[in-house]
Amino acid sequence: SAQHLFDFLEPRARIQPQIMMDAYVQIFEEVLRRSGDIFSTRLGISLRNKLRLWVRIHYLKLRARFLQPAS
């Protein structure tokens, strides 16, 4: 629900909250797929999705670097 607040942050400051939100959304979707069963097996993010997050982190860092005004 706080995603709309990201626009108030500097581009480089948005990266960490965005990645955290993406990871928690993935975990929440897994909870929904399991119909709320969080006790039978451990919740987590697949290796494939971890790699996607890793790529996204580096993409956002690179993008933020180019969007940052020159000093």
In the prediction, which pLDDT does 15 show?
Answer: 82
In the prediction, which pLDDT does 69 show?
Answer: 60
Separation CA 46–CA 26 (nearest Å): 9
Centroid of chain to Cα 30: 15
In the prediction, which pLDDT does 31 show?
Answer: 93
DSSP tag of 52 = H
* Residue whose structure tokens are 């990645």: 19
In the prediction, which pLDDT does 70 show?
Answer: 55
In the prediction, which pLDDT does 28 show?
Answer: 92
In the prediction, which pLDDT does 71 show?
Answer: 52
In the prediction, which pLDDT does 65 show?
Answer: 80
Which residues in the chain show pLDDT less than 70? 68-71
